[in-house]
Each structure stands twice: as C-alpha cells, then as structure tokens.
A and B are shown apart, each in its own frame.
Chain A
C-alpha cells in the first residue's frame, strides 16, 4: 500500500491490483474511518476524501496503515442478473480478436460470475471483472459518438453496461433492458462496487 498526496482534502492509496482495491474498499465501507466523507475505488487506487473540520490527512493516513483489507465476501454480496440480447455490432470483431466464434464469446460472458470493481465514466457505469479467466479486449479505435443506454460492452479487462446514451469506445456485444441507473429507484445505481453480476442470454 502506497499513500500518495492529493491536495488538502484527499489521499490516494495505490495498490497492487483490483483484488487489493476491492479488499480495501470493503474494509473502508464496513468500518468507515472518522471524518472520511467519500471513498472512491478505481482500477489500482482508492481515493479517500476527508471533511477537514472532522479529521486531518495525517490521522486518516495513520488509520489507513492499521486497516486490514477484507477478502471478497462473495457469499454475502448482493447479486444482480442481467438478461442480455447478444446482437452487439462488435460481437464478430471481438470473436475474431479472441480467435474464436461469436457463440463462444457469449458462452464465456454468460459462463462466469462478475464483480463490480468500481464505477466511473458516468453515474452508475460499473466496471465488472470476471471470476474466471481474464479478458483482454482492446477499445474500438474510433469511439462511437452515440452508444444507446443498456448497451453491454467489453474493454480491457472489463465488461460494463452503458447507463444512458453517451459517446463510448467499448466493444458492444449486446444489450439489456434492465435500467442500470434509474433515479426513480433507491439506490439509483444497480452496479455498485462489490455487487456480483451474472449476464444471462435472452432472446
């Protein structure tokens, strides 16, 4: 664990990988540190934002060094099932890149459970990583100016669902009708860090 400075109200903790990020994030949400108002996990880091009226960066740094990451408690995690129609425009390209058939891409995508590692890019956009063998899919060379809400994509080691229409560079393999971000729902974001996801082929 490396603690990097981030101005007068935040610390950035750098870790070896996603597993460590999930473990530290789980520890910090189960036992919140005094005066920490926001905890933002990412691919290799966790940002802690403090309320300077309630704590200091030095105190949070010390408490962090005493914090033991929690192993992922897969058994008790919330589970979400997302029915996906696998008719994405990039499915054939992804299959070609992986040297396999589109049906095999679908089998792999539906054949494992995924964990939301962190959110970013847009409210409710969860970066999901698989339990099984890791993926590695390049982004599209030219991002699309318009990706519809519900599009299911792959990029790098992640899979995700576009919460709303936006530009985007992920390889699109399918679509779901489930609203992954819905302001009328509490909580609005379905895919929050730690949530377990299973993609199911729909017709």
Chain B
C-alpha cells in the first residue's frame, strides 16, 4: 500500500535549531510586537525567488545544518545562505520527488541556511506572519523531528533560473558599515574609536535575538538610567559590562541601555551568518554627526 500523496514536508531531523521564518511582523512595534523574520533576509528572499514564490513566503531557517526532510508529494525546493554539503539544491531549484529525502550537512562557513519549498511553508500565521519569534514566543513552535509541515500550492510560474551566482557567507573576519546611534554621546570618544578600531569576537551566547560581542570595554561618560526607547535590528546596545550586543531579527521592540551605533541595515543579514568565534569589524563614523 502506498502512502497518500500530500503537499507536506515531514521533518526527520532538525539540527541544533530550525524555525519557520518569513518577512516577520513589521508595523506592530507600538503593541510591543517585534518584527522577527529571517535573520538573513536576502538569503530567504533568494530561496523563494528560485522556486517561484513570493519573496516573503515562509521558509525554514536552519542553524548549522542538520535538517532532514521527506517530501510528501513531488516538490520543488532550493536552499540558500550557508552552503550545506550534499545539497544539490543550493542556490538552485531542484525536484524533490514524493518520498525523497533532503539532508543538510554541516556548512563549512556561515550559520544559517534557508530551505524554500515551491508553494511556501503553510503553517498557520500568527498576527500576519509565520515567523517564530524566539524572544516573544509568537508564531509557530520551533520545528521538531516528526513535524509534518503543510506546503502551499504554487502561486506564480517558475522563474527559469538554474543557479543564482551568490557568494557563500565567509568564515574568518567580516567587516560591516556602522552609522551613529542615538546615544553615541553617552560614551567617551575613545569608546567610539575602540568600536571602529577593534576586532570583535562573536561569543557563544549569540542567537536570533542578537550577537554578544567580546572586545575592549566601551566606557560610558554619562551615567544614570535611560528610559527604555525603541530600536530595530542592527542596534549596537551597550549594557553595563561595556561589551556590546548587536541585535538581529528577534530584537526587543525597546531597550533600556544606550545604543552607541547601528550596523547599516543592508549589512545586518551578513551579521546573521556569523558563527561564534568569528570576528567582526565596524567601518564608519559613530560620532560627529
């Protein structure tokens, strides 16, 4: 007896963390609801375009490989972001026939891979999005082995692209642009110089909420409490330890520590691909606006 054909993906293994992500929940900050969504938005959009989806359709965000899925019907899939060995689908749409499995190995560099399925991951949206927000708990639960994820019907024709020639996320040191933050003047001038003049190590306490960075302590010149204020991804917030946190997709809507600088939004995707141990440099001017 053959299993009935259904547009689903059965999850066999997830690796360290796999979540459903899309473009998130913009525009709801006033309700205390953060944006969330894919950490590497460009990679998620590319994966969708390769399989003919709306660029903001829901995909699987896979952290450090390890995802294994089985197709419940003939599906078209593509992976982007961190390149996992053995994925024929990397930056290219491929058929995954009913019953076939796709297994993502450990990427040589980069942290997050995106798996798009033609038709999109069709779990129930929450407040307009299928993104799992690990800070607020909104959205579908974290993906686990045994889940059967519904896949939507195709909406648009296939794009006729065989392969997207995009570079893999690099290992080693990465440089990104920074711009002044709202509270740059709460810090000594040598703190601004230290921010742009040092190599910052991504620590193991990093996640979808943010990268905790280790380097020289950034000293404040202005003491006292800051009333919590709104922020978005890319914010470099400095808690009392002086070691900055670079906020990513699941950033809180407001924060109570001063933000010294922002990573240019166009470069935040690349920060979402950094692994613990990699170093980050900031280029630009933080003070003197």
Contact = CB atoms under 8 A, between A and B. Distances in A.
Interface residues of B, number: 38
Contacts of B253: 40, 119-120
Given A38-B27, A120-B32, A8 B179 contact: yes
B181 A188 contact: no
Contacts of B232: 6-7, 9-10, 47, 49
Nearest to A36: B27
Contacts of B30: 25, 38-41, 118-119, 192-193
A12 B229 contact: yes
Given A187-B31, A193-B30, A12 B262 contact: no
B26 interface: yes
Contacts of A40: 29-30, 230, 253-254
Contacts of B137: 164
Interface in B1-57: 26-33, 35
Given A45-B229, A183-B127, A7 B31 contact: no
Contacts of A192: 30-31
B230 A47 contact: yes
Interface stretch (A97-105, A122-130, A144-152): A122-130
Given A7-B263, A37-B27, A38-B26, A119 B32 contact: yes
A6 B231 contact: yes
Interface in B219-245: 227-232, 234-235
A27 interface: no
B210 interface: no
A7 B228 CA distance: 18
Given A45-B227, A125-B32, A6 B127 contact: no
B179 A183 contact: no
Interface residues of A, number: 39
A37 B265 CA distance: 15
A122 B28 CA distance: 12
Contact of B230 (A8, A12, A122): A12
B127 A188 contact: yes
Nearest to A119: B32
B138 interface: yes
A7 B27 contact: no
B126 interface: yes
A94 interface: no
Given A42-B229, A123-B138, A5 B180 contact: yes
A132 interface: no
B32 A5 contact: no
A52 B268 CA distance: 15
Nearest to A57: B179
Closest 7 CB pairs of A and B: A7-B262, A47-B230, A40-B230, A119-B32, A4-B182, A40-B29, A43-B227
12 contacts: A7-B234, A7-B235, A7-B261, A7-B265, A8-B234, A38-B30, A40-B30, A40-B253, A43-B228, A44-B229, A119-B253, A123-B32
Interface of A: 4-10, 12, 14, 25, 37-47, 49, 52, 118-126, 164, 183, 187-189, 192-193
Given A5-B182, A25-B30, A43-B227, 16 more contacts: A7-B232, A7-B235, A7-B261, A7-B264, A38-B28, A40-B230, A40-B253, A43-B228, A45-B227, A47-B29, A49-B232, A119-B253, A120-B254, A122-B32, A124-B31, A164-B137
